[in-house]
Chains A and B, each alone.
Chain A
Amino acid sequence: MTPNGWLQILFYAVVVFAITKPTGLYILKVYDGSLRWFAPVERLFYRLLGVDPEEDQHWTRYTAALLVFSAVSMLVTYVVLRLQGHLPLNPFQRPAVVGRQAFETAASFTTNTNWQSYSGETTMSYLSQMTQLAFHNFASAACGVAAAVALARGVARRSGGRIGNFWVDLIRGTLYLFLPLSFVLALLFVQQGTIQNFAHYVTVTTVEGVKQVLAMGPVASQSAIKQLGTNGGGFFNANAAHPFENPTPWTNFLSMLAIFVVPAGLTYFYGRTVKNQRHGWALWAAMFVLFAGGVTTVYWAEARGNPIHAARGVDIVTSASNPGGNMEGKEVRFGIANSALYATVTTDASCGAVNSMHDSFTPLGGMVPLVNIQLGELIFGGVGSGLYGMIVMAVLTVFIAGLMVGRTPEYLGKKIQSREVRMAMLYVLIFPAVILLFTAASSVLPAGLAGRNNAGPHGFSEMLYAFTSVTGNNGSAFAGLTGTTYYYNTMLGLGTLFGRFAMMVPMLALAGFLAERRTVPESAGTFPVTTPLFVVLLLGVILIVGALTFFPALSLGPIVEHFLMHAGRLF
């Protein structure tokens, strides 16, 4: 660990803090309808879809609209991927994507996961990349934010269960939030050297004299939205480690900032919407503490390096000319600090873009990304999903600890009773259930075991990471798992769908139920949700209710691997 490394991490943290409020205020304008630059475009879409933008939808209609939209767009993507061989914009004659992989990819992109079991540059046609995958990068992000905005409305309003209009939220989110932001970011990327073209692949002779094909394509535009929408699906297989996508420390910094900008801004938006700005900041603080803890652990673990390397004579001591520590799987231009930070950020938020290979991290360093996702993708989290995940946890915190002040629990003036608790518990329950059951099945079924590249606890971590990643809609891969089998394509695809929609439905039901409740005015007897004490409690609930469930599994994976590594064993 170096002062320079810490300074870079600190700089990142300060900038995240600084952009929270302006972004939040902008998001507020996006969803309250006061931005109108694209009004004609908006109207056109509403006419095409045949929706009334003035309609305030009951939560059941809102949810149905979201599900129908997702189902239809997923089906279209499946069909396009299957037929891409017969469709235009396919200069390299890429054939149809196989059925199971097309299903997995369609599910993965619809759910904002972007788990990729294929190499983008050798599987997808430009048409598939630009009309389907890019479309989902925008739409799935807008869906996530829409759902969070709906929950915020549910908490703030008393409207008989009406939580806004899905179509309006979807279209406004895309037009005013994600399109302009990614346009600006793409230009910044291009300025830094990220490629953006439709050129033919370039064949070059390397210094070793080997011929190598360099893939080309509209990379900057794709990368911008994949970060901003916490999608993470890379244009290249190497994702953000690829020098054409992430060429400089500045693109690296901007990429990481782009991941947190909307989720961080949403906490401010939320505080404004529910008229309790300090509560918004309390959620932000809880997220920040978990982020800081994560990045510190990874940086410490990676900078400390692997004792087995040292024993074999590798110099793991940091010096001016040697990054030291564990550099396996990391890009030299980013070093340990920026790799640790990127790994933390991309798994805190459900982005999943990577600039280093998490599989090559030390066991503890690799456990942090895993735990980040297992906490429920709420450390800033996915666009929208981070906020609503945190709100559900806040509801549970208020319910568990709220009684301790001698009143039946209320969250921001809304009584939390059996209906609300049932939905919050469903949300919390589905997540570990899918991860643990799918991993359990894979750890005994031959089809599951066949996918591992490593044995022992490390192989276990690979499976656990894969199911954690898809269910958390993260999409980052631990690498090392061969996911292109019938079994894994199907299971992982199902994992993304459960992790997205089986959790979103109870969450939107919670929004609707809260919107039916009257607001109890705040008094000195109200459970405080703005204090540092609340932040501590919230963290306690997230860690004990959320993470402890995974403790047995983790102890058989990275934890035991850590102890074994120090005993000199590798897997």
Chain B
Amino acid sequence: MALTKRPLFDPPIVKRAIRDAFVKTVNVRHMVRNPVMFVVLVGGILTTLVLVRDLASGAAGTAFTLQLALWLWFTVVFANFAEAMAEGRGKAQADTLRKSRTQTSAKRLRDPANQESFESVPADDLRKGDIVVCMPGDMIPGDGEVIEGVASVDESAITGESAPVIRESGGDRSAVTGGTRVLSDYLVIRITADPGETFLDRMIGLVEGAKRQKTPNEIALIILLSGLTIVFLFAVVTLQPFAIYSGGAVAIPILVALLVCLIPTTIGGLLSAIGIAGMDRMIQHNVIAMSGRAVEAAGDVNTLLLDKTGTITLGNRQAVEFVPAPGITREHLADRAQLASLPDETPEGRSIVVLAKQFGLRGRPLSEGEHGHLELVPFSAASRMSGVNARGLELRKGAAEAIGRWLREHGAETPAALTTEVERIAKSGGTPLVVAEREDGKARALGVIYLKDVIKGGMRERFGQLRAMGIRTVMITGDNQLTAAAIAAEAGVDDFLAEATPEDKMALIKREQAGGRLVAMTGDGTNDAPALAQADVAVAMNTGTQAAKEAGNLIDLDSNPTKLIEVVEIGKQLLITRGSLTTFSIANDVAKYFALIPAMFVATYPALQALNIMRLHSAQSAVLASVIFNALIIIALIPLALRGVRWRPAPAATILRRNLWIYGVGGIFVPFAGIKLIDMLLVLLRMV
């Protein structure tokens, strides 16, 4: 499997992250991009300079300044470590992917018409439009479109899924990905991507986060944090004149300590780690986000368009009931239906056999049973029915009109009672399958099999949760209105689009968007591409066509359309994590003020000792404890930033109340306890 799940603190990743954290700290160009941490860096440098000056002049209190300087540097390193950890996980994934991109050679056809004449060229030499042929065991040399042949392909290098998939020319299964392997048969492929632009290359780039751009919300948050930093810069810079007025200037390192404690370093240090971790969580779910923006948009989605088949229902209809015609026993119908379906390998056929077993009918041999050899009459578009022919017995099952025609040809009629049953089943969202026999030249209808779309387990609850979160679900299906309405009601979706054409789907998306809503959908076919491009969150199936994959902004390697719901949840989790840590960071300031203000001015105004409500040991211990808390809280929150805040789908008000308790109220009180504890430790260890 290419994309493995890893423990949060994988030792090799941690080792690399520690190294990267120091490299990032000395890289000024990297630091400038994060204004909050840049201020901390400048503060660290300033304090170090003061330390050097004090050491040179032999001033007292250098031990304190040294500790302060060290912890300021640690603050920056810790923030960079958080980011490096998040990136490290992506890089490790990318390395695994790179290994699977072994140097291959390709069989390029000299003449597309002649598959016998090819030349061996390195895969890197292939250009868009080249035609290659792949034999069993060959690695597919690049992304392309199958133009001839059907083959089973092992795509585990990309998807991690070990079961081979079928790739064939034409239709929606014609796209192949470089780095996958042909297992059987052969494929003629037209290359559709130049080297360096293949899906694998793009995936490595995305996983690695090399081209990660800040998302709109991240940019807005950075503006807010920078604004707060400037506000606190004013508060601290003006404090010196106030202090001088009051009769005692404050030492520069202490002012730096106050500033660093007040500016939102916690969220400032973890912000980019949270963003990278969000994309990483998508990857853990085998979804590749083409941009961070798509992950963010996923949290905002208002409307989910879900394809009925495969998403809401299991791919296939299943027989759930035998309804006999007048004068026929249920057992007889079951027996004949099973007989008619024995050689039928379609899922519907197999489900009929399974249902018949409930009537005590075990599987029977296909040949040499009581009716002799059973000869399959396959389904055809013209006859719209299938069945078996045996000795003296013909069985047919199919749509009501088709069987009706067959009966009339043999001088019989469909009983009126049966027609009523057929209508009942159709109205309730099922597919009626009429069974008829012709024994010894006499034809008659036996009854109807109720084939039903089976809703996947737990979908109703999930749609309920989505509704609670304010997300509307719309089922898209090719079924007629009646059937669609029945299934929609059973599955619990909010709305449905029946007899949907690609144009209808597009119109629906545009209508939703015109109302200010964000739309998410999945798709795999070429005719889905325009809608995918229009949707705000578009999950393309990896098994889909090249066009669909290019139009989507997320690609699901498992090609599981139900995953759209998880994608939305991951997007929400990313935003919740960001918001919770922002709130926590800002709420922290209250305690820090109460630690630092008395510490700074108690020498000038001993009366201000009354504000020292934590009863911290001394001015120095208070300052150090605050700065140490400020640095350590970044480390302490890295797991939360990487894993994301835990949450359960619920209405916004409920989620808000819960998070506000934990991160808002907690954010006010945790630092009081933390700073007091560190202060006691400092005293215990005689650090102050």
Interface residues of A (CB under 8 A from B): 396, 399-409, 413, 416-418, 420-422, 425-426, 428-429, 432-433, 436-437, 439-441, 443-444, 449, 457, 460, 518-521, 523-528, 531, 533, 537, 540, 544-545, 548-553, 555-556, 559-560, 563-564, 567
Contacts and interface: CB of A to CB of B under 8 A. Distances in A.
Interface stretch (B319-327, B483-491, B539-547, B586-594): B586-594
- Dominant secondary structure of chain A at its interface with chain B: helix
26 contacts: A405-B576, A406-B647, A408-B296, A408-B299, A421-B227, A425-B223, A426-B227, A428-B227, A436-B238, A440-B240, A441-B241, A443-B242, A457-B605, A460-B242, A521-B515, A523-B470, A523-B471, A524-B652, A525-B652, A531-B653, A548-B593, A549-B234, A552-B236, A552-B258, A553-B235, A556-B601
A422 B575 CA distance: 20
B78 interface: no
Contact of B299 (A407, A413, A524, A548): A407
Contact of B597 (A402, A426, A525, A552): A552
Given A432-B235, A548-B593, A560-B607, A406 B220 contact: no
Most buried by B among A518, A525, A548, A549: A525
Contacts, number: 215
Most buried by A among B231, B515, B578: B231
A552 B237 CA distance: 11
Contacts of A408: 216-217, 296, 299-300, 575
Contacts of B217: 403, 408-409, 417
B597 A551 contact: yes
A560 B608 contact: yes
B687 interface: no
A400 B468 contact: no
B688 interface: no
A444 B241 contact: yes
Contacts of B1: none
Interface stretch (B50-58, B146-154, B173-181, B659-667): B659-667
A179 B139 CA distance: 85
B573 interface: yes
B635 to A, nearest CB: 23
B242 A520 contact: no
Interface stretch (B4-12, B243-251, B391-399): B243-251
Nearest to A406: B572
Contacts of B381: none
Given A443-B242, A555-B601, A563 B517 contact: no
Contacts of A564: 605, 607
A544 B652 contact: no
Contact of B660 (A432, A533, A548, A555): A533
Contact of A400 (B302, B579, B605): B579
A401 B656 contact: yes
Given A405-B576, A441-B241, A537-B660, A567 B220 contact: no
A10 to B, nearest CB: 30
B653 A528 contact: yes
Contact of A457 (B239, B246, B578, B651): B246
B183 interface: no
Interface string B506-533: 0000000001111000000000000000
A440 B242 contact: yes
- Dominant secondary structure of chain B at its interface with chain A: helix
B580 A549 contact: no
Given A401-B579, A421-B224, A440-B240, 20 more contacts: A401-B660, A403-B582, A404-B579, A404-B656, A404-B663, A406-B576, A418-B219, A418-B220, A428-B231, A433-B231, A443-B241, A520-B302, A523-B470, A524-B468, A526-B652, A540-B664, A553-B235, A556-B242, A563-B605, A564-B605
Contacts of A520: 302, 516-518
Contacts of A440: 237-238, 240-242
B232 interface: yes
A497 to B, nearest CB: 19
Nearest to B576: A406
Contact of B216 (A418, A428, A533, A552): A418
B31 interface: no
A189 B651 CA distance: 53
Interface string B232-276: 101111111111111000000000001000000000000000000
A413 B576 contact: no
Contacts of B517: 520-521
Contacts of B296: 408
B610 interface: yes
Contacts of A443: 241-242, 244-245
Interface string B4-42: 000000000000000000000000000000000000000
Contacts of B518: 520
A460 to B, nearest CB: 6
B226 to A, nearest CB: 8
B505 interface: no
B657 interface: yes
Interface string B291-328: 00000100110100000000000000000000000000
A564 B471 CA distance: 59
Given A404-B580, A418-B220, A556 B246 contact: yes
Contacts of A548: 589-590, 593
Nearest to A569: B607
Given A400-B583, A524-B470, A560 B605 contact: yes
Nearest to B467: A524
Contacts of B244: 443-444
Contacts of A460: 242, 245-246
Contacts of B601: 555-556, 560
A405 B580 CA distance: 9
B230 interface: yes
Nearest to B568: A406
A32 B258 CA distance: 50
B469 interface: yes
B608 A429 contact: no
Contacts of B238: 436-437, 439-440, 553
B655 interface: yes
B611 A559 contact: yes
Interface in B539-578: 571-573, 575-576, 578
Contact of B655 (A406, A421, A521): A406
Contacts of B236: 552
A563 to B, nearest CB: 4
B614 to A, nearest CB: 15
A549 B299 CA distance: 33
A359 B97 CA distance: 73
B92 interface: no
A301 to B, nearest CB: 16
A539 to B, nearest CB: 12
Nearest to B226: A425
Contacts of A444: 241, 244-245
Contacts of A437: 234, 238
Contacts of A401: 579, 583, 656, 660, 664
Contacts of B426: none
A72 B587 CA distance: 44
Contacts of B299: 406-408
A492 B223 CA distance: 30
Nearest to A517: B516
Most buried by B among A401, A407, A418, A567: A407
Contacts of B412: none
B516 A544 contact: no
Contacts of A521: 302, 515-517
A457 B242 CA distance: 10
Contacts of A433: 230-231, 234
A420 B223 CA distance: 10
A440 B243 CA distance: 10
A508 to B, nearest CB: 18
Contacts of B231: 428-429, 432-433, 545, 549
Most buried by A among B300, B572, B579, B647: B579
